[in-house]
Amino acid sequence: MKRFKYADERISERDIMIAIPSIVMGVGILSMPKQLASVTKGADGWIPLLLGGLFAVFISWAIAKFASGFQGQTFLTYASKIVTKPVAIVLSLMFAILSIFVTAYQIRKISNISQQYLFDRTPIEVIALPFLLVVVYAVSGSRAGLFRINMMFMPIILSIALIIVVFSVGWLNAGNLMPVLQTPITGYTQVIANTGAISYLGFGILWFYLSLVDKPKKAPKAAALGMCIPVGLYMMIFIMCIGVFGNAVTSNLLYPTIELAKVVEIPGGFFERFESVFFVIWIMAIFITATMAMDIGIFALNAIFKNTEKLKIIFILTPIIYFVGMFPRDVMEVDLIGSIMSWLMLILNITVLILLTVVAKIRGVKRNE
């Protein structure tokens, strides 16, 4: 079986810039306005969204800055140098396991949502399987190819999101955005912890993908810029949701972003049911999120088990992902797993960042600038 090989497996810092919004924008945005609106007043949710976003931009920049110091080295290599090999393996394994959970969660969530809105009678298991198989197909090819998919999908995804924002302006009721700044401080802290920062998870990919970048000098800036895209988009969508539905309704809609897409009507009865287009495109967004998450898992495992073929790892992981995804019984359990997973991911990223930076300083590990 001959496989087509791309010339090289190198990527540019522009690929990194696109990869960040690609992995960040997944299923989270569909329910994010609800979670924010239910603990804030009026449209105040934009503040934690912005603060969480700035925090995420900073973390992405810091991770990229740190990782770009070790040009051409994988996470395992430089982590071994800093904190000894066993610890590095444990860290890699944790990234791999969490990435697998992220993939499983994304697949389960989109299966649930598309069953609710599109496939009334198709079992969730059947919706999830083809989706997973396509994801598997994508990851079993070249890694550089993944970045090309990102590059191709991202403009489409961004434009559909912008179209929704623009066309729902007609339904906007400015009164809904008030009262301004009436949320108690406790409300904000709760949100920043619960949704603000977690909506932006995905910067973990930088630990791994930066080793593929040829000239990582500009990568930190690119990563930070990339993170700004979801921050801006999330804020726009959140404000539109509140403006169109009002705070009380937004906090009661399970998927406000989809409902927002349902509101959009091209005038004159020319085009109703805009959400069908939105769905198709958002499934693309979730597809690349799931693909990248799975690829990170493979990347991390491949670095540990150097002698095992990539395809073998994929074929072992696939059924695991499927079973993990199908494990939760109902919507509540899916969300619980989602939030536990996001928390672990956040903690892991920050711990690794602090641990590696501090230990590298103490032990004086040289970065190859």
Smallest separation (angstroms) from another protein to the CB of 115 = 9
- CA-based nearest residue to 106, from 307, 284, 250, 309: 284
Q: Sign of torsion, CA 349 351 354 358?
A: negative
Smallest separation (angstroms) from another protein to the CB of 260 = 10
Smallest separation (angstroms) from another protein to the CB of 119 = 5
Smallest separation (angstroms) from another protein to the CB of 42 = 8
Q: Which residues bind another protein (CB under 8 A)?
A: 1, 41-42, 116-123, 126, 130, 175, 178-179, 182, 245-246, 248-249, 252, 259, 262-263, 265, 272-273
- Between 275 and 295, name the residue whose CB sits nearer to another protein: 275
Smallest separation (angstroms) from another protein to the CB of 217 = 46
- Between 50 and 177, name the residue whose CB sits nearer to another protein: 177
- Between 169 and 178, name the residue whose CB sits nearer to another protein: 178
- CA-based nearest residue to 99, from 295, 234, 235, 238: 295
Q: In degrees rounded to 5, what are phi and psi of residue 354? A: -65, -45
Smallest separation (angstroms) from another protein to the CB of 251 = 8
- Between 209 and 322, name the residue whose CB sits nearer to another protein: 322
Smallest separation (angstroms) from another protein to the CB of 247 = 9
First to last CA, the chain: 41
Smallest separation (angstroms) from another protein to the CB of 228 = 31
Q: Please tell me the distance from the alpha carbon of residue 57 to that of residue 317, in angstroms, as a whole number.
A: 31
- Between 180 and 358, name the residue whose CB sits nearer to another protein: 180
What single-letter amino acid sits at 27? V
- Between 130 and 364, name the residue whose CB sits nearer to another protein: 130
- CA-based nearest residue to 15, from 215, 204, 198, 299: 215
- Between 129 and 193, name the residue whose CB sits nearer to another protein: 129
- Between 122 and 159, name the residue whose CB sits nearer to another protein: 122
Structure tokens at 301: 């495992």
